[in-house]
Amino acid sequence: MSLTSYLNSPKHQELRNQFKSYFPRPAFHYEMPLLVPPLTKNYGVIGTAYDYLFRFTIEHHNKREKIETAKWIADIAFRGIAGVYCENAEKRKILNDRFQSVKINYGAYIKNGRLNKQILSDLLFLAKLDLFFRIGYVAPDLLQEDEQDIKDLKALYSLINQNDFKVRNKCYLNPTFGKGSMLVGGADADVILDDTLIDIKVTKHLKLERDYLNQILGYYILALIGGINSKPEKKQIKNVGIYFARHGLLWKAPISEFATPKKISEFKNWFLNYFNNMKQFG
């Protein structure tokens, strides 16, 4: 399982109740138009493709020494999918050539920042590879992209305000949380930009859902437990944020707005006990 799986599971209502009890929902008063309505119903693939696009864009616009990137989930999926998808050598070669082409195009984009149709197609391909890693699903259109999805991604890209995502000191793309991630069977966040943990939502609804808060505050707790990218000394998160990509809105709030250090420590201890007891007693 993973952190999001636990948070969404009917079996773990107690976990959700504790998040709600310790971390009340803050005020959220925004009235903004939906600037980029979805063009298809491929919501999951678009969301994941945009995650890649967002991270690549931050990487391009900032100095490389300020950026720490993790291995792509698609990298892991690519190695695992060959035996399932490729029943013959010719098909394996087609898939391998496509993936290597993505790597070349990614390198060019990081260098020159030119977003073209091929890059957008590559992002959708990576998102479909991710599906194999996360749920074991091989997309039947793995090597094909919907033209409307390409248009959707391009429109979403146009809303990114680079001033909102300029790195001062250090940025972690797709970070994990060492022992914290292992505790819950896996957890990787979208971005930690300096002292702010940011989750990306490609939703048409501009609402601060309880589920969103549980997820991002859950990542924060995992960072307290295991550090960032298995480095326990890196615990500099002071704020959490959610970027509503279809509205071009970055919402941020300091951790201190949710709870005192004492309550956070109490919740972290409860959280550790909850998952350790689950493993002990099955």
What's the pLDDT tens digit per position in 27-48?
999 989 999 999 999 999 999 9
Q: Residue 78 has what pLDDT?
A: 85
Tokens of 107: 């390198």
Q: Residue 231 has what pLDDT?
A: 73
pTM passes above 0.85: yes
The Cα–Cα gap between 7 and 16 comes to 6
Q: Residue 94 has what pLDDT?
A: 83
**pLDDT at position 83 over 70:** no
**pLDDT at position 207 over 90:** yes
Tell me what the mean pLDDT of segment 208-237 comes to.
90
Tokens of 172: 């972690």
Q: Residue 136 has what pLDDT?
A: 76
CA distances from 72 to 75, 101, 205, 229 (A): 5, 15, 28, 14
Tell me what the mean pLDDT of segment 188-214 comes to.
97
Average pLDDT, the chain: 92
The Cα–Cα gap between 244 and 164 comes to 13
Axis crossing angle, helix 210-226 with helix 13-22, rounded to the nearest 10: 90
Tokens of 45: 């693939």
**pLDDT at position 282 over 60:** no
Q: Residue 135 has what pLDDT?
A: 75
In the chain, what percentage of residues exceed pLDDT 70?
95
pLDDT band at residue 123 using 50, 70 and 90 as cut-offs: very high
Q: Residue 281 has what pLDDT?
A: 58
Q: Residue 138 has what pLDDT?
A: 78
**pLDDT at position 93 over 90:** no
Tokens of 7: 């948070």
* DSSP percent split of the chain into helix, strand, coil, nearest 5: 55, 10, 35
Q: Residue 85 has what pLDDT?
A: 62
The Cα–Cα gap between 163 and 27 comes to 24
pLDDT band at residue 87 using 50, 70 and 90 as cut-offs: low
**pLDDT at position 102 over 60:** yes
The residue among 93 and 100 whose pLDDT is bigger is: 100
Tokens of 183: 């505790």
Q: How buried is 223 (Cβ within 10 angstroms: 0-12 exposed, 13-18 middle, 19+ buried)?
A: buried
Tell me what the mean pLDDT of segment 100-117 comes to.
95
Weakest mean pLDDT among 2-6, 75-79, 134-138, 230-234: 230-234
Sheet (strand 191-193) strand order: 67-69, 171-173, 191-193, 196-201, 239-244, 249-254
The Cα–Cα gap between 124 and 156 comes to 14
**pLDDT at position 18 over 90:** yes
Tokens of 93: 């070669």
- Token look-up 């919907």 returns 146
The Cα–Cα gap between 233 and 22 comes to 25
pLDDT band at residue 22 using 50, 70 and 90 as cut-offs: very high
- Dihedral sign, Cα of residue 97, residue 136, residue 116, residue 146: positive
